[in-house]
Amino acid sequence: MTKAVLVFNAGSTSLKFGLYEMDASGTPPLILRGSVENFQTGPVLLARDARGERLAPKHWKKGSVIDHLEAMDVVMDWLKSNLAATPLGAMGHRILLGGARYAQPVKIDVAVLDDLDSLAIMEPSHQVTDVRGARAMAELFPTLPQVACFDNAFHSTLPAVAKTYALPKDIRDAGARPWGFHGLSYAYVSGRMGELAPTARRVIAAHLGGGASLCAMLDGRSVDTTMGLGALSGLPMATRSGDVPPEVLFYLLRGKLFDIVELEKMLYQRSGLLGLSELSGAMEVLQSSEDPRATAAIEHFVYAVTKYAGAYAAVLGGLDAFVFTGGIGENSAPVRAAVCRKLAWLGVELDADANSANKPRISSPQSRISVWVVPTDEEVMIARQTLAVVGSD
């Protein structure tokens, strides 16, 4: 009987999952994929099979609040009810940060999980949740091979100049350096661009969603990215601030307007598009609003993307292709159009009809730089990496 690999991809307030056949040759065939959404406002589990057919959902009572562990438990129970005849052969987990020790996927054991737990001091918003979920599944299925797949691993190719802060050596040696994230997404995009535009050597990929970042790629490898030590820096995001000058933070602390805990909470949960608009952190809500604060928030977001894109074009020595991915990148034609207008000086020429129709290529045939919309697939990357590790044992 064919076994399956189950993958978990935990976000800040959601849990994506996928089930794949254990086929190590190329892309493992999809059995089903789904997500548990709206942890704080009435969770729901939604899933589709490989044909795209909706499977039986699971709804919580309106107003229910859950955490990632409860979501994982429900997914496991739901899988038993819907796929009782599909035994698991392995499990893969997206872990935000592997640090200096883990630049490649690694089989999970207690020592590995303890190491990964120790890195939460660098990035507590995701690392704690990711490791906690992996530990819970390892304890629940102690004989099942499980693999940690790292979101920063794709950025291990950053040149020294791009992964160094201008800090004293002892501080840098303590781990204060840019790690970069959204790496599973960028790894997938890099592979797809090798198929879609194989001659495009200099590529900027924009993973725009609730979390947002840009990555400069040369020959398919990361050479710079906007997220640094943690998942807070770079672009403004749904509720995360993006770049804020450190003197602003010193001012808030010196003025006793915040303590460390409340400052971190403000930067992660009350800032970004939500902080700018005072309405919502969701791009679709802002785009449907006539409130001038919503317009201003979107303009700020586009400005930040444009600013980094210009910098990365300089880092790459020019640009061959620009890629949109992530929830906003894949679905917001207005944001894509606004960014492309700002990048016209680089030679970007948008095909408005292709953009409105969410076509894979949205640049005109005359555009000096090709522009693409590539739906990301972090789950299949986790499945591939998990099977590569399990298959090598």
Q: Residue 268: which residues within 8 A CB-CB, separation 6 or more?
A: 125, 232, 239, 240, 241
The number of CA neighbours under 13 Å toward the Cβ of 300 is 24
The domain defined by 197-373 folds into: Nucleotidyltransferase; domain 5 (3.30.420)
Other CB atoms within 10 A of residue 346 CB: 17
CATH number for the domain formed by residue range(s) 4-150: 3.30.420.40
Q: Round to whole Å and give the CA distance between 254 and 335.
A: 38
Residues in the chain: 393
Helix boundaries (H) for the chain: 68-82, 110-118, 124-140, 169-173, 183-196, 246-254, 260-269, 272-277, 283-287, 292-316, 326-331, 333-342, 352-356, 378-392
Active-site choice (130, 151, 224, 351): 151
Q: Which of 286, 280, 288, 306 is nearest to 298 (CA)?
A: 286
pLDDT value at residue 304:
98
Other CB atoms within 10 A of residue 21 CB: 17
pLDDT value at residue 84:
62
Strands 212-218 and 221-225: antiparallel
Strands 15-21 and 30-37: antiparallel
DSSP string, 339-361: HHHHTGGGT--B-HHHHHTT-SB
Other CB atoms within 10 A of residue 190 CB: 21
Other CB atoms within 10 A of residue 241 CB: 22
Residue by residue, pLDDT tens for the chain (393 residues) are: 678 999 999 877 789 999 999 976 678 999 999 999 888 778 899 999 999 999 989 888 888 888 889 999 999 999 888 776 678 999 999 999 999 999 899 999 999 999 999 999 998 888 999 999 999 999 999 999 999 999 999 999 999 999 999 999 999 999 999 999 999 999 999 999 999 999 999 999 999 999 999 999 999 999 999 999 999 999 999 999 999 999 999 999 999 999 999 999 999 999 999 999 999 999 999 999 999 999 999 999 999 999 999 999 999 999 999 999 999 999 999 999 999 999 999 999 999 999 999 999 999 999 999 999 999 999 999 999 999 999 856
- DSSP letter at 268 equals H
- Does residue 7 contact residue 20 with C-beta atoms inside 8 Å? yes
Active site residue 151: yes
pLDDT value at residue 39:
85
pLDDT value at residue 64:
84
Which residues make beta-bridge pairs with 215?
A: 205, 225
Is pTM beyond 0.85? Reply is: yes
Q: Which string of b and e fits 151-171 if b means at least 16 CB within 10 Å?
A: bbbbbbbbeeebbeeeeeeee
Task: Identify the helix (H) or strand (E) that includes residue 231.
Answer: none
Q: Which of 22, 25, 42, 20 is nearest to 34 (CA)?
A: 20
Which residues make beta-bridge pairs with 321?
A: 203, 370
Do the domains 197-373 and 4-150 match in fold?
yes
Q: How far is CA 294 from CA 234, 267, 324, in A?
A: 20, 19, 22
- Does residue 320 contact residue 199 with C-beta atoms inside 8 Å? yes
- Report domain extents, the chain: 4-150, 197-373
End-to-end CA distance of the chain: 21
